[in-house]
Every structure is written in structure tokens, then in C-alpha cells.
């Protein structure tokens, strides 16, 4: 009996010990759980604060970067009065787009179109978007500009990029900033979405040229925001603008030579100028009369290819130099560096100041040029590329290489390091099919046969 009581007592103690142990463990777990919950709650409270502080830090960094950029560019604030200009509509906007209301933009465009001595005022119209490197272009133009009054610089900005705008405004009253007011999206076909940038460029060009010529200027020189100019850039256009009025077969003067790499130009002849059927662009001058003709049918995109088409060109030609008076530094852009590494970065920029205004440039007028240049080319010795490359030509002086078809032309130009493409059937720099360049210390003319019948669109 006593043994049974002892057993019951032992069992009771074990049960009590089990309950006590369970209670202690349960209490400790509850305490740890409370602690974790408190820690989690504290983290939840701290996390938004951390994000806020991070956001403040990022904003502070952005502000600091912006300040340093503006400090580097020596920002100034223009205090000159402004006038209001109504934005002109481009005649053939995409029909899918909704009609736009007339928008105004503030600008300080000079209204004087002629100097007291009768010389025309020739504005330099710079096209900008979202590259603050436009500063390099503007510094260059301001550096070489001989007269603020005769060559006002007008910067037309698209895209609405604030940092680029501030960079342009840092030049104060040395230039005028106008802003393309229509920043609406452009509706394009799905297959053309990757080309939307070209649509915006065409819209910008149309608006800016309408706005500038509306003032009454007879001439405008167009410069892209990624161009440097030569010391005699202004002198070049000052001397050649008269040719555009004298010769109706001329429709532009360009500062660019598409085949202007240092190894294929005559560095010793910076004064040499040519006529060309190819529209070069990249720093070019046009007249008010030409813009009146083109503006009413201005294209929705790819304006430079459009302007090279026979329907626009109408057998008219441009003036171009032996050595370029512009050079592009803009590898990054809408064209994604097309041709830049292979050609554009190797273009030679003229370093010598040529007094073009003191020269007789009448040799560039059509009758004079055709009677001399064309006749001279076809009496030159006919050689092969191999003879030229190996320097096997007995006589010194200029020579001619003949091509008879598209494939032959492309093969020769590639071997020579020239640009081999065509636009509307016209080779770059060609005049009557003749492409002139400098090779192995002699003038070379790559020319079709003497009975040439004209450009073939199928070659493009």
C-alpha cells in the first residue's frame, strides 16, 4: 500500500514538473516573439525614413552635378528684352494627328536684315536638342564670328531638355534662343517607330526655318549642334552668298566635303572650291526664295534625302570646298553614328584663313565652270587605279580614272577610301558624274565616259 502511494506521488511530481517546464518554455517563446515583432515594427518605421534620406541624397547629387556643369559653362542671364513670334505651321503634317492650336514662343531675334553699307545680315541658325555639347559648337561660332551685327546666332532648340537650354542661355546676349513649341508625340506606322527621331527633326527644321525667314532675311546658314567650324567659316559664306543670286543653277553653298579625309584632299589648296550635284549639308546656306519653294511641300521625315531627289533638286547644284569648313564631333545621335568611325571623324577641318571676299569666284558660275572644268577633265591622261596606287604614271599632273557602271564605281571608291554610296543616283561630291579628289600628290578625277547620259536612280 505504501509502495503504491510513493508511486502516485512520484507520478504527480513528474506531471507537475512537465507542466512547469512547458510553462517556462512557452513564456520564453512568447517573450522572443514579442521582441521580434517589436524589431520588425521598428524596421517598418525606419525603412521609409531610409528611403526618404536616400531620395534626398540622390537629389542633392543631381543638384551638385547640375551646379558644376553650369559653373563650368559660366552661366549668365540675359537681360535683353524679348519679342513674341507666332510659330508657323508646316504645310503637310501627318493627317492622323489632331490639328494643333497656334503656339507662341518668346525670342529676341534681331529684325535688321541689311547693314548700313547694303550688305545682308546672314543669321547662323543652330539646331539643338538634348546635347549640352552644343556649347562646343557655340563657343567655336562666337570665337570666329567677325561681326555680331552681320552674323546673329539663333539657336533653335527642340526636345525641351532643361540642361541643354541652360547651357545655351549661358552665352547671354551673344545669341538668341528660340524653342520649338510643339512637343507633342508624332504618330507613325509601327514599322517606322525606330525612325520617329527623323520625323521630329523634319518638324523642327520646318518650324525654325519658317520662323527665321519670316523676319525677312535673304539668306540663312544652317549649323547642327555637333559641328565645329573653321576660322574662315564666316568669310566663306560672306564671299559666296552673291553667287546664289547671280546663278539660278545654284541652290546652296555648303561648308562640307563628303570626301574630305586628310589623305584625299590637297592640303596646299584650301582656297579651291567646286560645283557639285550632290547636296552635302553639314553647314550650308540657302536663300529665302528657295525656302519659299520648299516650305510648302516640306516632308514629314528624312528631309535631307528628300531634298536630294530630282523633283526637288531640278538639276541645281551646290558649292563645296576642297577642305571642309565644318567637322562633326557628334557620334551619338539619331543616326547612331552612321559612317562616323569609318569616314566622318577623319574629315580634315581647314586651319588656314582664306580671304575669299578678296578672290574672284566667278569661275564657279555655270557657264564659266562647264567651259573649263568639264573640258579639262576629258583631255587628261586615262589611267587605272593600279597604276595610280603603284605610282606608275610617267607624267606629273592631274589624271582621270574611268568607271562604266555602278559596281565598278563602288569597287574603285572602296579601294581609294572614298564614300561609295549614292543618293538619288548621285555619288557624293559628284558633278556631271565626276568625283574629284587628291591621291599620291596629284589631282585625280573619277569620271564616267565622255558620252555620259545623266544619273541613274537605280544606282542608289
Establish if 90 belongs to a structural domain: no
Q: Are residues 216 and 263 in the same domain?
A: yes
d(CA 406, CA 427): 10
Q: Are residues 384 and 309 in the same domain?
A: no
Q: What is the CATH number of the domain that holds 392?
A: 3.10.180.20
pLDDT of residue 330: 76
pLDDT of residue 288: 98
pLDDT of residue 341: 78
The active-site residue, picked from 161, 266, 304, 370, is 304
Q: Are residues 335 and 384 in the same domain?
A: no
Question: Which of 291, 325, 346 is the last residue before a domain boundary?
Answer: 346
Supply 412's cell numbers. Answer: 574603285
Q: Are residues 326 and 395 in the same domain?
A: no
407 as an active site residue: the answer is no
Establish if 166 belongs to a structural domain: yes
Establish if 387 belongs to a structural domain: yes
DSSP-assigned states of every residue in 403-451: --SHHHHHHHHHHHT----EETTEETT-BTTBEEEEETTEEEEEE--TT
Spatial neighbors of 149 by CB under 8 A, at least 6 apart, are 110, 112, 115, 121
- The helix or strand, by DSSP H or E, that contains position 260, with its residue range, turns out to be none
**Closest to 297 measured CA to CA, from 284, 283, 314:** 314
Decide: helix, strand or coil at residue 112. coil
Establish if 419 belongs to a structural domain: yes
- Structure pTM? 0.77
412-438: pLDDT as tens digits: 999 999 999 999 999 999 999 999 999
Q: Are residues 314 and 432 in the same domain?
A: no
Q: Are residues 175 and 258 in the same domain?
A: yes
- Report, as ranges of residue numbers, the positions in the chain whose pLDDT lies below 70: 1-10, 12-14, 17-107, 332-339
Establish if 85 belongs to a structural domain: no
Establish if 374 belongs to a structural domain: no
pLDDT of residue 105: 47
Establish if 7 belongs to a structural domain: no
- Provide the residue range defining the domain that includes 432: 379-448
pLDDT of residue 52: 39
Q: Are residues 414 and 266 in the same domain?
A: no
Residue ranges of alpha helices (H) inside 108-181 are 134-144, 162-169
Cβ(100)–Cβ(184) below 8 Å: yes
Q: What is the CATH number of the domain that holds 189?
A: 3.90.550.10
Q: Are residues 332 and 417 in the same domain?
A: no
Q: Are residues 310 and 433 in the same domain?
A: no
The total number of structural domains in the chain stands at: 2
279-292: pLDDT as tens digits: 999 999 999 999 99
Question: Which of 346, 369, 389 is the last residue before a domain boundary?
Answer: 346
Buried-state track 132-163, b at ≥16 Cβ within 10 A, e below 16: bebbbbbebbeebbeeeebbbbbbbbbbebee
End-to-end CA distance of the chain: 120
Q: Are residues 154 and 281 in the same domain?
A: yes
Establish if 68 belongs to a structural domain: no
Q: Are residues 431 and 306 in the same domain?
A: no
Q: 10 Å Cβ neighbour count for 276?
A: 25
Q: Are residues 215 and 299 in the same domain?
A: yes
d(CA 375, CA 369): 9
Amino acid at each position: 500500500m505504501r509502495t503504491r502511494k510513493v508511486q502516485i506521488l512520484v507520478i504527480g511530481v513528474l506531471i507537475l514538473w512537465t507542466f512547469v517546464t512547458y510553462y517556462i518554455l512557452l513564456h520564453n517563446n512568447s517573450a522572443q516573439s514579442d521582441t521580434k515583432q517589436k524589431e520588425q515594427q521598428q524596421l517598418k518605421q525606419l525603412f521609409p525614413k531610409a528611403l526618404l534620406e536616400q531620395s534626398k541624397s540622390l537629389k542633392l547629387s543631381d543638384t551638385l552635378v547640375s551646379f558644376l556643369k553650369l559653373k563650368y559653362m559660366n552661366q549668365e542671364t540675359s537681360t535683353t528684352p524679348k519679342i513674341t513670334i507666332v510659330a508657323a505651321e508646316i504645310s503637310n503634317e501627318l493627317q492622323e494627328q489632331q490639328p494643333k492650336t497656334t503656339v507662341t514662343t518668346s525670342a529676341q531675334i534681331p529684325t535688321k536684315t541689311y547693314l548700313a553699307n547694303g550688305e545682308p545680315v546672314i543669321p547662323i541658325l543652330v539646331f539643338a536638342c538634348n546635347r549640352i555639347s552644343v556649347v562646343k559648337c557655340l563657343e567655336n561660332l562666337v570665337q570666329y564670328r567677325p561681326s555680331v551685327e552681320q552674323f546673329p546666332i539663333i539657336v533653335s532648340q527642340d526636345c525641351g531638355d532643361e540642361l541643354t537650354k541652360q547651357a545655351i542661355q549661358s552665352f547671354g546676349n551673344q545669341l538668341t534662343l528660340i524653342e520649338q513649341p510643339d512637343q507633342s508625340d508624332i504618330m507613325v506606322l509601327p514599322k517606322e517607330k525606330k525612325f520617329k527621331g527623323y520625323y521630329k527633326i523634319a518638324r523642327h527644321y520646318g518650324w525654325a526655318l519658317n520662323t527665321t525667314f519670316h523676319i525677312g532675311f535673304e539668306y540663312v546658314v544652317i549649323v547642327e549642334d555637333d559641328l565645329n567650324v573653321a576660322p574662315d567659316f564666316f568669310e566663306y559664306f560672306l564671299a559666296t552668298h552673291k553667287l546664289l543670286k547671280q546663278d539660278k543653277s545654284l541652290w546652296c553653298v555648303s561648308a562640307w566635303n563628303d570626301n574630305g579625309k586628310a589623305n584625299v584632299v590637297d592640303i596646299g589648296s584650301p582656297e579651291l572650291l567646286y560645283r557639285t550635284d550632290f547636296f552635302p549639308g553639314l553647314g550650308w546656306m540657302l536663300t529665302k526664295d528657295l525656302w519659299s519653294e520648299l516650305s510648302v511641300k516640306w516632308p514629314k521625315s528624312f528631309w535631307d534625302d528628300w531634298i536630294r531627289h530630282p523633283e526637288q533638286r531640278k538639276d541645281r547644284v551646290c558649292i563645296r570646298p576642297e577642305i571642309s569648313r565644318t567637322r562633326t564631333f557628334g557620334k551619338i545621335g539619331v543616326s547612331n553614328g552612321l559612317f562616323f568611325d569609318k569616314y566622318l571623324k577623319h574629315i580634315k577641318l581647314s586651319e588656314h584663313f582664306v580671304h575669299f571676299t578678296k578672290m574672284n569666284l566667278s569661275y564657279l558660275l555655270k557657264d564659266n565652270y562647264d567651259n573649263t572644268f568639264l573640258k579639262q577633265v576629258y583631255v587628261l591622261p586615262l589611267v587605272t587605279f593600279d597604276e595610280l596606287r603603284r605610282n606608275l604614271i610617267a607624267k606629273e599632273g592631274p589624271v582621270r580614272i574611268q568607271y562604266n557602271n555602278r559596281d565598278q564605281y563602288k569597287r574603285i571608291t572602296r579601294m581609294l577610301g572614298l564614300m561609295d554610296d549614292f543618293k538619288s543616283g548621285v555619288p557624293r561630291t559628284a558633278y556631271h558624274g565626276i568625283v574629284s579628289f587628291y591621291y599620291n600628290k596629284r589631282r585625280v578625277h573619277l569620271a564616267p565616259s565622255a558620252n555620259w547620259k545623266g544619273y541613274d536612280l537605280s544606282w542608289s
